[in-house]
């Protein structure tokens, strides 16, 4: 069991009962599925996050926003007056031997109606939360290791101990499915803390 900051392997024997306990807490599974996810321009998985706005403080949380000038990403076609992003079909008008087509090209450029590639990619920027419950779909990336702080004092004996073990097992499973590490720091007092190292999702690990 859990005692004075020290784990005993005998405390993990009732694994089926712990799994049944976990299955009765769907909110915990949902939380662990989202835990550690963060907006990232490198992410491919689109997730919903609370709406945030651009911040000019480097101390604020890193978020993402669309950069309309990002040359590395194309999101479609648009109309513009930019020669650098226009389609080759527009350049054909300029190189045409017909004067009327060359004039058509110049008119389209002056009016900003050249058919062009729409360059719009995500970029990482400091952000701060908005006072709203609205969310936005943003590219997300898995964060670092899951780190659990587990109270192993005698006050956790009984049902609290079973619940704590259920949370640890859920975190180990969630971290494994996301290719992340899971680490546990157990403590029973201010002077008694033990760091487990990385816990693997196998019989030896748990």
* Segment 103-133, tens digit of pLDDT: 999 999 999 999 998 877 888 889 988 888 8
Cβ 49 vs Cβ 43: under 8 Å:
no
Which tokens sit at 13? Answer: 């024997």
pTM score over 0.85: no
Which tokens sit at 83? Answer: 């020669």
34: enclosing H helix or E strand: helix 26-34
> Which residue in 84, 78, 75, 87 sits closest to 121, CA to CA?
75
* Segment 62-109, tens digit of pLDDT: 888 887 767 677 778 889 998 888 999 999 998 989 999 999 999 999
Gyration radius of the chain's alpha carbons:
27
């Amino acid at each position: 069991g859990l005692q004075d900051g020290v784990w005993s392997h005998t405390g993990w024997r009732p694994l089926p009962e712990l799994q049944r306990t976990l299955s009765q807490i769907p909110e915990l599974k949902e939380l662990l599925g989202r835990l550690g996810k963060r907006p990232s321009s490198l992410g491919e998985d689109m997730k919903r996050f609370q709406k945030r706005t651009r911040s000019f403080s480097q101390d604020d949380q890193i978020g993402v926003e669309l950069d309309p000038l990002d040359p590395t990403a194309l999101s479609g076609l648009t109309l513009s007056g930019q020669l650098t992003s226009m389609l080759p079909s527009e350049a054909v008008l300029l190189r045409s031997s017909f004067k009327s087509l060359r004039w058509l090209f110049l008119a389209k450029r002056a009016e900003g109606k050249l058919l062009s590639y729409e360059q719009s990619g995500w970029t990482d920027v400091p952000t701060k939360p908005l006072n709203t419950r609205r969310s936005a779909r943003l590219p997300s990336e898995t964060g670092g290791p899951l780190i659990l702080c587990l109270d192993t004092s005698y006050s956790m004996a009984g049902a609290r101990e079973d619940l704590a073990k259920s949370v640890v097992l859920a975190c180990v499973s969630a971290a494994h499915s996301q290719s992340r590490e899971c680490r546990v720091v157990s403590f029973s007092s201010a002077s008694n803390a033990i760091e487990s190292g990385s816990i693997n999702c196998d019989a030896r690990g748990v």
